[in-house]
Amino acid sequence: MNNDRSFLLKNLDCPNCAAKIEKKVSAIDGVKTASVIFVSKKLILSTDGTVEQSKIISEIEKTVKSVEPDIDFVETGKERKEDEKTEKGLSGELVRLILAATVFAVGVISAFLNMPKSALIIIFAACLVISGKDVFLKAVRNITTGQVFDENLLMTIAAIGAFAIGQFEESAAVLIFYQVGEFFQNLATDNSKKSISDLMNLRPDYANLKTDSGILKVSPADVTIGDVIEILPGERMPLDGVVLEGHSLVDTSGLTGEPTPREISQGDSVTGGFVNGDGLLTVKVEKDYGESTVAKIINLVENAGSKKAKAENFITKFARIYTPTVTGAALLIAVLPPILFAQPFSTWLYRAIIFLVVSCPCALVVSVPLGFFAGIGAASHNGILVKGGNFLEKLASVDTVVFDKTGTLTKGVFEVVDTVCAEGITSKELIETAALAQIMSNHPIAKSIIKAAGGESDRERVKDFSEIAGMGVIAVTDAGAIAAGNDKLMARENISYEKCPKEGTVVYVARDGKYLGCIIISDIIKSGAKKAIESIKSLGVKRTVMLTGDRESAAKAVAQAVGIDDVRAELMPDEKVSEFEKAVSGTHIAAYVGDGINDAPVLARADIGIAMGGIGSDAAVEAADIVIMDDDPSRLSTAIRISSYVRMIVRQNIAFALIVKFAVLILDTMGIVNIWAAVFADTGVALLAVLNSLRILIRRDKFKS
């Protein structure tokens, strides 16, 4: 039994604390996995069902409080209220910083006017209390609870040490600039969070349920499959269903990123999250709210941060070791030169203080997860749902992409284009016979034959029906036993037939063991398929492969038209995984793009599974790591561009932070730099890294092909 739960961690403002909470909660009995997403301030849990949920939550709360007493749980789903509280908190922080800066300015002016040292001590001490009270209290509280090494301790030692050796201005400046940096980091992080939580606006507030007593406004969760709802002009569709009455243009941009409204009329499927245009629509509900597209999207986006990229996990582990290491190194810098070489203690204490300020890991701990968080947001904006930062990171290294054909590179909309009839059989008779056999099938090929026959036949004429996976159908009818399918079906039934001489998807038809002819069906290639293949190759994909159960000649025709390198055709559903493994043998990272139920095993097997979500099956979407909401293959190149850009930004942040920090540390040991350089190497670098990460969101409209 699996139980997944998530909580907002109100007042979580320390990335180091987030890492500690994650580690400690993961060790609690009954917790299968735990992930703390600092950027979104969320704790995501998976429990194994062996321990009562209430006991687990109680233990988690104790654990969280032991790390950071100010953190409280906030129920998931109250994001907007939490955002309002965050804004109020940031406003209060800004007022405090302005007050501290004012006192600091008074102190600087007083020093310039040669005020007595006692007056300067009072002024700068007041500045320290105003700007650093929270930092001091957290450092002390963490020490008492055994959580010694974090940035609060580093800043506390640096500020108090500088004050003790008479560097009053620099002591106050360390804390002010540290807090200014923290303020802007929080502001930037909250803005990035809001840009992603815009997707949460897809969450429907109500549904207009049609009842015998009239229209009732109810929660979408209270609507069941088969109920009929109305969507008024301008309303958001609450659930997935099919239109019974009405005609309208609907805005799908919130889910698919498509700017052009889609025309909807009777018989069309609609998805929760679409916004109705100017027409009244009556819709029959086909999925419960929990299984609806919009509910799944919201869940995916909310929990995407729980699957962390390698870079994020590395930085988290790095910070755990890094902070106590640099604290020890600073202690050695402060005491060894005076003891071993009779150097002035104040000089080396000052250098140790600079060392501590420079060494704060915030630039890395905040900016790296923020980069992936922003990347997931940019992808969502473009109609691409990425289920975790690890998949986004991996996508940039893909060198082989394997495609399904029908519904992925083609529209899955089939048309009968020709027939080849046996002697004495007319084209009309051939198509009508095949349509009668296919009447019980929901396969797109069957529907195209039924359409060509002029509509559905009488189902009562079919006495027995069986569908053979990867081959076709056999139906016992009042007209005889009809077999309609590919050449494998003919061979299975020992029916002598003539190989079809024409290209396309071929359906062979036989009645009572006698071959009647074949029907040639064409699947329409998606307009952007060729460009999509060209685009991903220009982005570094070295090889493309297509797997399909379709006839080899038809598959090769599609592959040639769109530019696929290799084709594996006439595959049974259970052969796809083994053929995928053969096709990607020796490659670095392979992605699979598919949409059907039979694609789910391959999607799960691939390094990265990418599902076409618009017409894709629920099984495919569940198994995939990335979902393309509008079925447009060109979105794949968009996703790769975003992934590559995120990887570049993350690498820039890591390299920039480490180079600047190590450079200042070396210069510090040589006595060349002062504490102002240390402030830049800490606060300045952290702020620049955060702003660099936000470039991903700023560019979110520029990743399209």
pLDDT in tens, 93-103: 788 888 988 99
On whether residue 492 sits in a domain, the answer given is yes
Contact 521, 515 (CB under 8 A): no
Confidence (pLDDT) at 517: 96
Angle between helices 151-164 and 345-359 (to 10 degrees): 150
Between 148 and 363, residue with greater pLDDT: 363
Q: Which residue has the tokens 């024409």?
A: 502
Angle between helices 168-197 and 151-164 (to 10 degrees): 160
Contact 472, 495 (CB under 8 A): no
| Residue type for position 130 | I
- What are the residues whose beta carbons fall under 8 Å from the beta carbon of 194, sequence distance 6 or more? 83
Contact 353, 333 (CB under 8 A): no
Contact 644, 638 (CB under 8 A): no
What is the rounded average pLDDT of the residues 244-258?
A: 77
Confidence (pLDDT) at 80: 44
Residues 612 and 630 in one domain: yes
Find the CATH number of the domain harbouring 235: 2.70.150.10
Instruction: Enumerate the active-site residues.
Output: 404
Contact 142, 150 (CB under 8 A): yes
Between 566 and 39, residue with greater pLDDT: 566
Confidence (pLDDT) at 2: 47
Residues 487 and 577 in one domain: no
User: Per-residue pLDDT for 88 more than 90?
Assistant: no
On whether residue 277 sits in a domain, the answer given is yes
- Measuring CA to CA, how many Å separate 394 from each of 580, 626, 635? 19, 11, 17
Confidence (pLDDT) at 576: 86
Residues 488 and 536 in one domain: no
Residues 503 and 438 in one domain: yes
Under DSSP, is residue 436 helix (H, G, I), strand (E, B) or coil?
helix
Residue 202 Cα to chain centre, angstroms: 16
Residues 416 and 502 in one domain: yes
Contact 275, 244 (CB under 8 A): no
Boundary of a domain, candidates 640, 658, 691: 640
Under DSSP, is residue 498 helix (H, G, I), strand (E, B) or coil?
coil
Between 175 and 464, residue with greater pLDDT: 464
On whether residue 351 sits in a domain, the answer given is no
Residues 520 and 540 in one domain: no
What is the rounded average pLDDT of the residues 554-568?
A: 91
Tens-digit pLDDT profile for residues 387-434:
888 889 999 999 999 999 888 898 877 889 899 999 999 999 999 999
Residues 477 and 612 in one domain: no
Find the CATH number of the domain harbouring 450: 3.40.1110.10
Confidence (pLDDT) at 1: 43
On whether residue 256 sits in a domain, the answer given is yes
Structure tokens at 526: 């998606």
Taken in order 278, 280, 286, 289, the sign of the CA dihedral is positive
User: Per-residue pLDDT for 161 more than 90?
Assistant: no
Confidence (pLDDT) at 511: 95
CA atoms of 389 and 392, how far apart (whole Å) = 5
CA atoms of 613 and 616, how far apart (whole Å) = 5
CA atoms of 109 and 105, how far apart (whole Å) = 6
User: Per-residue pLDDT for 79 more than 50?
Assistant: no
What is the rounded average pLDDT of the residues 49-73?
A: 81
- Phi, psi (5° rounding) for residue 588? -80, -70
Tens-digit pLDDT profile for residues 364-378:
777 788 888 888 888
Residues 535 and 436 in one domain: no
Between 680 and 126, residue with greater pLDDT: 126
Under DSSP, is residue 38 helix (H, G, I), strand (E, B) or coil?
coil
CA atoms of 128 and 130, how far apart (whole Å) = 6
Confidence (pLDDT) at 612: 84
Residues 584 and 505 in one domain: no
On whether residue 598 sits in a domain, the answer given is yes
What is the rounded average pLDDT of the residues 498-519?
A: 91
Contact 354, 640 (CB under 8 A): no
Tell me the pLDDT band of 18, cut-offs 50, 70 and 90: confident
Taken in order 201, 298, 379, 411, the sign of the CA dihedral is negative
CA atoms of 151 and 13, how far apart (whole Å) = 11
- Phi, psi (5° rounding) for residue 380? -60, -40
- Measuring CA to CA, how many Å separate 202 from each of 249, 299, 361, 671? 18, 11, 36, 57
Under DSSP, is residue 295 helix (H, G, I), strand (E, B) or coil?
helix
Contact 696, 646 (CB under 8 A): yes
User: Per-residue pLDDT for 300 more than 50?
Assistant: yes
Confidence (pLDDT) at 509: 96
What is the rounded average pLDDT of the residues 456-480?
A: 87
Q: What is the largest CA-CA distance in the chain?
A: 117
DSSP annotation of 599 = G
For the chain, how far is it from start to end, CA to CA, in angstroms? Answer: 43
Confidence (pLDDT) at 309: 64
Confidence (pLDDT) at 541: 94
Residues 545 and 400 in one domain: yes
Q: Which residue has the tokens 């890395």?
A: 364
User: Per-residue pLDDT for 531 more than 70?
Assistant: yes
Tell me the pLDDT band of 481, cut-offs 50, 70 and 90: very high
Percentage of residues of the chain with pLDDT beyond 90: 26
Q: Which of 112-121, 202-211, 512-521 is most confident?
A: 512-521
What is the rounded average pLDDT of the residues 139-158?
A: 74
Nearest to 624 by CA among 391, 404, 406: 391
The sheet carrying 472-477 orders its strands as 410-421, 514-525, 505-511, 480-485, 472-477, 462-468
Confidence (pLDDT) at 364: 73
User: Per-residue pLDDT for 694 more than 90?
Assistant: no
User: How many C-alpha atoms does 224 have within 13 Å on its Cβ side?
Assistant: 1
Mean pLDDT (the chain) is 82
CA atoms of 230 and 211, how far apart (whole Å) = 11
- What are the residues whose beta carbons fall under 8 Å from the beta carbon of 207, sequence distance 6 or more? 217, 218, 219, 220, 222, 223, 229, 238, 239
- Give the domain extent around 542: 383-404+528-640
- Measuring CA to CA, how many Å separate 384 from each of 314, 392, 529, 626? 26, 11, 17, 7
Tell me the pLDDT band of 592, cut-offs 50, 70 and 90: very high
Contact 240, 293 (CB under 8 A): yes
Between 303 and 452, residue with greater pLDDT: 452
Residues 605 and 631 in one domain: yes
Report the number of distinct structural domains present in the chain: 4
Find the CATH number of the domain harbouring 52: 3.30.70.100
Tell me the pLDDT band of 147, cut-offs 50, 70 and 90: low
CA atoms of 592 and 394, how far apart (whole Å) = 13
Tell me the pLDDT band of 198, cut-offs 50, 70 and 90: low
Contact 187, 686 (CB under 8 A): no
Contact 610, 391 (CB under 8 A): no
What is the rounded average pLDDT of the residues 276-284?
A: 90
Boundary of a domain, candidates 18, 47, 76: 76
Q: Residue 50, exposed/middle/buried by CB under 10 A (0-12, 13-18, 19+)?
A: exposed
Nearest to 381 by CA among 641, 653, 610: 641
What is the rounded average pLDDT of the residues 150-168?
A: 80
Boundary of a domain, candidates 287, 307, 337: 287
Residue 196 Cα to chain centre, angstroms: 10
What is the rounded average pLDDT of the residues 196-205?
A: 58
Confidence (pLDDT) at 294: 64
What is the rounded average pLDDT of the residues 697-701?
A: 84
Q: Enter the pTM of the model.
A: 0.70
Tens-digit pLDDT profile for residues 595-653:
866 788 888 889 999 988 765 556 667 778 888 887 889 999 999 999 999 999 999 99
Using H for helix, E for strand and C for coil, what is the string for 549-587? Answer: CCCHHHHHHHHHHHCCCEEECCCCHHHHHHHHHHHCCCC
Residues 509 and 579 in one domain: no
On whether residue 513 sits in a domain, the answer given is yes
* Strand-pair category, 3-10 with 72-75: antiparallel
Residue 615: CB atoms within 10 A of its CB come to 16
On whether residue 517 sits in a domain, the answer given is yes
Which of left, alpha, beta for 68 (phi over 0: left; psi -120 to 50: alpha)? beta
- DSSP output for 441-481: ---HHHHHHHHHTTS---GGGEEEEEEETTTEEEEEETTEE
On whether residue 433 sits in a domain, the answer given is yes
